Chains A and B, each alone.
Chain A
């Protein structure tokens, strides 16, 4: 099967495919067994069936399905392998694996391990021992020989290290081991980067005892590394390198991260075609640049693409010192004004709070500034002078500006780069023949060498340096007449700089020229922050503890146990396993130890020219895949399909059409409900209980309180039912069926009247429920309390009955208006029937209603006037008991006394109450109609 990357472990089994035609024949022969049914009206059925083609054989697709299933099983038994890999030739007495696990191998370490695993597996199947050595491990790491499984364990335990390889040492050890195993195959899994001593190392390794070389390299060495990250004046300059000889242009993105790992800046570095070096600048505000803790190239997961930054790349702290009182009214004449404006963009300015130099200088020195600028400071107080000198000697940069005070102060060898003549020199002016001098070309030895001289700058006054032999090399800028304008000198590790003019524009116009800013920047670049770690001279001399390490994958990690303190010294510190790249020091100050330096290049490793047989293979993952499982799974799936198909053809799935139809209908309904609901959701603000609410308000309904006592509630319901029937029969009002309400939950405002039978055995309603009742009454509803205890106390009993007690408890929490028994001229007595009293099952209890305020009926009208309806009515006559009827309309309970008319009166009372509820004082007005008509008639 050359056209397919497929091979079979047991190809003989494939002959089984020849059985497929037989299976096909058998399948065609035996259709699925039908369900046999006796069917008397066969003659009728025959007339129908004649028109249908009877499948006597399996349908073709079922046959195909089964053939496919058989073929799949045969194929699965043949153990197919997709993308089979080549096996290495079984040669040699041993296999020596030399694996580069340096930083350059980190990006595709998985591939390397996979490749090595295959080699070890082959060695294992050949039964030869394996020597396995890593070139970036400790020199005393065990290298074997192992058997294959132990070698595999070693391999899997190995990790890439963020350090360069040490090929000569490791290769020598391997070569020494191979002396006991002559004729071994040597597999070099190289990272592709050349290093010093490679040639000799390979010679050592391969010259003796090696029978074969397996050379494993990446197809293409594509490494990108950061070799420089420099905090420039206007940006952060980055330099990246890649493998030389890459003809294609490339672009990499570098990201800057702060110490919390947040990405705060980006830059793009572009490799021109064929170029191995790319530069780029991160133009970000200086404030941000100070927060850079590391810079990493995107997409490069190796230590070379990461640089950690320490203090040296950060913004400098600059202390400003002046003896002139800052005159806020004339800021342009303040000596520090132009310096401040020039330095602010790229340096942290530190100014002392005290004007007294004895206080101000220690204050500044405590801030550990990189540079101190003194504007026309003459004599330094003796008590702080030595500290300042020490600071300069330790690396501080002291920049001084001339001025009258300095000119008067005299020489100071420790804190001035040159000796000065006392007094100043004036150029030009009314009493001078000389004219103000311009600035000439900057001397080549100074830091300003690359600046162009400011032609517009003239100096009219300066302090002069004593001509000394070294005056020329100390001169950084000169005037046209050759006198120095800026002088500078190294003082131990520090630098002294003197501007021979004032920092304000009195002696020259240099401070207001653009060159001034540039010159100050150059000076600032020279300075170094005197951070804690650097200032701690003793600690620095000994060692710096590992703080944050760069892992092999380019991430910052805590130090590994292998990391040892770094002893900073002159020159480039080697990156070793003991001193992996990263930050050394502590939180207060760190020292950056980076893998690559400015001189690093990526030279590709060449295959050593040896006389051995060589097998060159690339790194690759093992892509071979055993197809047996998927094929069997597929066959099982087809089997399930086949079963379903047989069921379907046998009619099992449709035998229960009703159930299926019901299920379908349910699904459709659910879908419909979903869709319908979605539709409604757009236009409708439906709430739960809306249906109940609509039902409650679409017809007038009388409500009763569900007390929780079934007997009481059923009588309430039957009573209101009876009253409803009576109302329908006698009046124009046709109420809906009575509604039982739970006063704790249900909406009450739908009901004009709530009948509340008080039952002492029912649970006391909660405070919240009573509050709802109160609100209902306040909003115009009426509650008809019925204690139903007119006779239960016995005649002449003085104490209140339990129901009355309960009613009192309830009313205690309600805002009950003053009550009175229904007076004879109350509208309740006339609202439909003329009623002198309101009996229920019992007779005799008055019906209490809200007392009318103007109880006096002065004008002798037939009914008292008054607005509103009573929010409360109380009776003890058991109205519901009298009203209650069964389905046939027959009364449920006897009246006491058993007088049929009393029931009629009770119903009439109910009608009056309902009419009163619904019409209010309208009825009381109606009684005046005859009088009104009479008046109108007149």
Chain B
């Protein structure tokens, strides 16, 4: 009888990067909804589908009294009205990305395709790829400061592979208002601890996107018989005489934890996404993508027109 779960070796960052790119290529360019972003951000090359500071033509509009904008005489000369040339607002946005590096993430059960760590890295690097393609500033707490680069995902991957030891829970107090943060973890610590850790983000007004990477074995608890369970983080051991008798209660507790966390996120206006390692990473990517680009249909609309903007750029 083979074991159900095992601890995988940490995934090679380059490998994760390649897979992340693959995932990212499946998702349309990420347009971070920026309605809450201050005007004074570094200009990105990403059209916001509204007039503002930028280099590209957006629209001509009739000049009204008191308009501070310059009249575009070339256009005004064509008829009796005077027009003002608006430019499309182009702005960049800072998105922090973080994947849980703890040993518990290395777990992979027989039913899952990849380990949780692998999935988390793929998700974060895919996000990085998406965001940097869109010209957003990305950063990894405790690893890099926000930066803008076309090859942001690659840079983060490189830094990750060279980082000596990453803190299990980085200090999030440096993250400022109007930033987004994508946190990919299994959130298996007690909910209170997780909340306490993330509370600083809520206080700073950061919008967080939590992705819970879950292994199917953790959720369904398919164990039976006399089983000794080992915690990969602490090394604690627990022996269950007949594991199948625990399944029901365990599942309740497991789900209660998730629901509590999800409810907390909802209250704060954060998104909470669950991604199972036996499902595709794209599921979570699309959901987070939608959560970042504002709500539902509007988000999709802007995403669709984003292509046009990019084409113009």
Interface residues of A (CB under 8 A from B): 32, 34-49, 52-56, 648-652, 654-655, 657
- B241 A39 Cβ-Cβ under 8 A: no
Q: How far is the CA of A665 from the CA of B190 in the complex (A)?
A: 40
Q: How far is the CA of A56 from the CA of B226 in the complex (A)?
A: 10
- A43 B231 Cβ-Cβ under 8 A: yes
Q: How far is the CA of A700 from the CA of B4 in the complex (A)?
A: 57
Given A38-B7, A649-B225, A655-B224; A55-B230 close (CB under 8 Å): no
Which chain A residue has the least Cβ–Cβ distance from B225?
A651
- A38 B224 Cβ-Cβ under 8 A: no
Which chain B residue has the least Cβ–Cβ distance from A49?
B238
Q: How far is the CA of A38 from the CA of B231 in the complex (A)?
A: 6
Contact bitstring B246-264, A, C-beta under 8 A = 1, else 0: 1001100110010000000
Residues of chain A with a CB closer than 8 A to B1's CB: 35, 650, 652, 655
Selected from A36, A41, A52, A655, the residue in CB contact (under 8 A) with B228 is A36
Residues of chain A with a CB closer than 8 A to B231's CB: 39-40, 42-43
Interchain nearest-CB distance for B277 vs A (Å): 12
Residue of B105, B230, B257 with most chain A CB atoms under a 10 A cut-off:
B230
Given contacts A38-B232, A649-B225, 16 further A-B contacts (CB under 8 A): A34-B228, A35-B1, A37-B5, A37-B229, A38-B107, A38-B229, A39-B223, A40-B104, A43-B189, A44-B250, A45-B229, A52-B246, A54-B238, A55-B241, A649-B226, A655-B1
Residue of A35, A650, A654 with most chain B CB atoms under a 10 A cut-off:
A35
Which chain A residue has the least Cβ–Cβ distance from B226?
A34
- A54 B232 Cβ-Cβ under 8 A: no
> Size of chain B's interface in residues, with CB distance under 8 A?
43
- B246 A32 Cβ-Cβ under 8 A: no
6 contacts between A and B (CB under 8 A): A42-B234, A49-B246, A649-B241, A651-B224, A651-B225, A657-B244
Residue B195 at the chain A interface, CB threshold 8 Å: no
- A41 B249 Cβ-Cβ under 8 A: no
- B253 A44 Cβ-Cβ under 8 A: yes
Which chain A residue has the least Cβ–Cβ distance from B3?
A37
Q: How far is the CA of A41 from the CA of B3 in the complex (A)?
A: 16
Residue of A38, A42, A54 with most chain B CB atoms under a 10 A cut-off:
A38
Selected from A47, A53, A651, the residue in CB contact (under 8 A) with B244 is A651
Which chain A residue has the least Cβ–Cβ distance from B218?
A41
Which chain A residue has the least Cβ–Cβ distance from B234?
A42
Q: How far is the CA of A871 from the CA of B165 in the complex (A)?
A: 93
- B227 A657 Cβ-Cβ under 8 A: no
Interchain nearest-CB distance for B182 vs A (Å): 21
Contact bitstring B1-30, A, C-beta under 8 A = 1, else 0: 101111100000000000000000000000
Q: How far is the CA of A36 from the CA of B227 in the complex (A)?
A: 6
- B238 A42 Cβ-Cβ under 8 A: yes
- A37 B224 Cβ-Cβ under 8 A: no
- B3 A52 Cβ-Cβ under 8 A: no
Which chain B residue has the least Cβ–Cβ distance from A50?
B238
- B5 A38 Cβ-Cβ under 8 A: yes
Q: How far is the CA of A163 from the CA of B110 in the complex (A)?
A: 86
Selected from B188, B223, B226, the residue in CB contact (under 8 A) with A40 is B188
Interface residues of B (CB under 8 A from A): 1, 3-7, 104-105, 107, 116, 186, 188-190, 215, 218, 223-234, 236, 238-246, 249-250, 253-254, 257
Selected from A36, A40, A652, the residue in CB contact (under 8 A) with B232 is A40
Q: How far is the CA of A654 from the CA of B240 in the complex (A)?
A: 15
Given A39-B5, A46-B238, A49-B240; A651-B250 close (CB under 8 Å): no
- B107 A54 Cβ-Cβ under 8 A: no
Q: How far is the CA of A275 from the CA of B177 in the complex (A)?
A: 125
Which chain B residue has the least Cβ–Cβ distance from A656?
B224
Q: How far is the CA of A46 from the CA of B3 in the complex (A)?
A: 20
Which chain A residue has the least Cβ–Cβ distance from B236?
A42
Residues of chain B with a CB closer than 8 A to A654's CB: 224-225, 244
Given A37-B223, A52-B241, A649-B226; A45-B5 close (CB under 8 Å): no
Interchain nearest-CB distance for A409 vs B (Å): 118
Q: How far is the CA of A47 from the CA of B250 in the complex (A)?
A: 8
Q: How far is the CA of A649 from the CA of B243 in the complex (A)?
A: 10
Residues of chain B with a CB closer than 8 A to A52's CB: 240-241, 245-246
Q: How far is the CA of A118 from the CA of B104 in the complex (A)?
A: 78
Interchain nearest-CB distance for B34 vs A (Å): 37
- A41 B188 Cβ-Cβ under 8 A: yes
Interchain nearest-CB distance for B206 vs A (Å): 27
Q: How far is the CA of A655 from the CA of B110 in the complex (A)?
A: 14
Which chain B residue has the least Cβ–Cβ distance from A654?
B224
- B225 A37 Cβ-Cβ under 8 A: no
Residue of B226, B230, B245 with most chain A CB atoms under a 10 A cut-off:
B226
Q: How far is the CA of A53 from the CA of B245 in the complex (A)?
A: 12
Which chain A residue has the least Cβ–Cβ distance from B2?
A35
Residue of B186, B230, B238 with most chain A CB atoms under a 10 A cut-off:
B238
Residues of chain A with a CB closer than 8 A to B215's CB: 40
Q: How far is the CA of A44 from the CA of B232 in the complex (A)?
A: 14
- A48 B249 Cβ-Cβ under 8 A: yes
Residues of chain B with a CB closer than 8 A to A649's CB: 225-226, 241-242
Residues of chain A with a CB closer than 8 A to B257's CB: 44
- B227 A34 Cβ-Cβ under 8 A: yes
Q: How far is the CA of A55 from the CA of B238 in the complex (A)?
A: 11
- B243 A651 Cβ-Cβ under 8 A: yes
Residues of chain A with a CB closer than 8 A to B230's CB: 36-39, 42
Q: How far is the CA of A648 from the CA of B190 in the complex (A)?
A: 34
Which chain B residue has the least Cβ–Cβ distance from A53?
B241
Selected from A35, A43, A648, the residue in CB contact (under 8 A) with B227 is A35
- B246 A48 Cβ-Cβ under 8 A: yes
Interchain nearest-CB distance for B290 vs A (Å): 28
Selected from A41, A47, A56, A650, the residue in CB contact (under 8 A) with B225 is A650
Which chain B residue has the least Cβ–Cβ distance from A647?
B225
Selected from B5, B105, B244, B250, the residue in CB contact (under 8 A) with A48 is B250
Residues of chain B with a CB closer than 8 A to A42's CB: 229-231, 234, 236, 238
- B226 A35 Cβ-Cβ under 8 A: yes
Q: How far is the CA of A126 from the CA of B87 in the complex (A)?
A: 127
- B250 A37 Cβ-Cβ under 8 A: no
Residues of chain B with a CB closer than 8 A to A45's CB: 229, 238, 240, 246, 250
Residues of chain B with a CB closer than 8 A to A53's CB: 241
Selected from A37, A43, A55, the residue in CB contact (under 8 A) with B190 is A43
Interchain nearest-CB distance for A46 vs B (Å): 6
Q: How far is the CA of A525 from the CA of B231 in the complex (A)?
A: 111
Residues of chain A with a CB closer than 8 A to B243's CB: 651
Q: How far is the CA of A415 from the CA of B239 in the complex (A)?
A: 119
Interchain nearest-CB distance for A55 vs B (Å): 5
Residues of chain A with a CB closer than 8 A to B239's CB: 34, 54, 56
Q: How far is the CA of A624 from the CA of B245 in the complex (A)?
A: 51
Q: How far is the CA of A38 from the CA of B218 in the complex (A)?
A: 10
Residues of chain B with a CB closer than 8 A to A41's CB: 188, 218, 250, 254
Q: How far is the CA of A36 from the CA of B3 in the complex (A)?
A: 8
Q: How far is the CA of A53 from the CA of B246 in the complex (A)?
A: 12
Q: How far is the CA of A41 from the CA of B231 in the complex (A)?
A: 7
Which chain B residue has the least Cβ–Cβ distance from A42?
B231
- B228 A37 Cβ-Cβ under 8 A: yes
Residues of chain A with a CB closer than 8 A to B189's CB: 43
Q: How far is the CA of A53 from the CA of B240 in the complex (A)?
A: 9
Interchain nearest-CB distance for A51 vs B (Å): 8
Which chain B residue has the least Cβ–Cβ distance from A658?
B222
Selected from B188, B225, B246, the residue in CB contact (under 8 A) with A652 is B225
Given A41-B188, A48-B253, A55-B241; A650-B226 close (CB under 8 Å): yes
Q: How far is the CA of A652 from the CA of B1 in the complex (A)?
A: 8
Q: How far is the CA of A648 from the CA of B241 in the complex (A)?
A: 11
Which chain A residue has the least Cβ–Cβ distance from B116?
A40
Which chain B residue has the least Cβ–Cβ distance from A55?
B241
Q: How far is the CA of A37 from the CA of B250 in the complex (A)?
A: 16
- B250 A657 Cβ-Cβ under 8 A: no
Which chain B residue has the least Cβ–Cβ distance from A47?
B253
Residues of chain B with a CB closer than 8 A to A44's CB: 188, 250, 253-254, 257
Residues of chain A with a CB closer than 8 A to B244's CB: 651, 654, 657
Which chain B residue has the least Cβ–Cβ distance from A649?
B226
Given A43-B189, A46-B238; A37-B246 close (CB under 8 Å): no
